[in-house]
Amino acid sequence: MSTIQISENPMRKMRIEKVVVNIGVGKSGEPLQKASTILQELFQQKPSVRKARKSIRDFGVRKGEPIGVTVTLRGGKAIEALKKLLQAKGSRLPASSFDKNGSVSFGLKEHIDIAGVKYKPELGIFGMNISVFVTRPGYRVMYRKRAPSKVGRAHRVNREEAIEFLKSNFGVEVV
């Protein structure tokens, strides 16, 4: 009688759920169009326009005015983009970038830091915020429309697990 070796439960394996890249311009018009063009060139995906939630008189922003653009990447595109973005960051992230739910957020001051991107004077230079969501299979039960339920505490990704996942799979150094 042979014994079957089970290496690890497939439901415990972590993965990159999505990578969200956001450029907040703060005003509508030409700068927003330029930011949208940059995101489309970088990720070959049409960016979504984000509008202001409330009016802020000091900044000259009105409620409902478009002030930013964002792209959500999933699957293979997300992993490839994350590799490029981490390389632009120098594969070093502060420990404060990780939250208790295993999500990671960091920023780039200039989009031209990304490998293979050339400066175009007509577009200018934009900074961007990147959010990475690390999950396990089964998280869908939280977000589904019919019969949503909770994900147990033992199944959630915590901060230490997310750090270890990024270290082993992407070579990230946490400082």
pLDDT tens-digit series, residues 128-162: 999 999 999 988 899 999 999 999 998 999 999 99
Structure tokens at 20: 């969200």
Domain positions in the chain? 14-174
Structure tokens at 89: 């960051």
pLDDT, tens digit (0-9, with 9 covering 90-100), for 67-122: 999 999 999 999 999 999 999 988 899 999 999 988 999 999 998 888 888 888 89
Q: Is the pLDDT of residue 64 over 70?
A: yes
| pLDDT band per the 50, 70, 90 thresholds, residue 12 | confident
CA distances from 134 to 44, 69, 127, 147, 161 (A): 23, 22, 23, 23, 9
Q: How many residues does the chain have?
A: 175
Contact between residue 40 and residue 111 where contact means Cβ atoms under 8 Å apart: no
CA distances from 1 to 4, 5, 7, 111 (A): 10, 13, 19, 59
The CATH superfamily of 14-174 is Ribosomal protein L5 (3.30.1440.10)
pLDDT at 2: 53
| pLDDT band per the 50, 70, 90 thresholds, residue 29 | confident
Name the nearest CA neighbour of 19 among 104, 102, 88, 145: 104
DSSP 37-96: HHHHHHHSSPPEEEE-SS-BGGGTB-TT-EEEEEEEE-HHHHHHHHHHHHHHTTSEE-GG
| pLDDT band per the 50, 70, 90 thresholds, residue 17 | very high
pLDDT at 4: 60
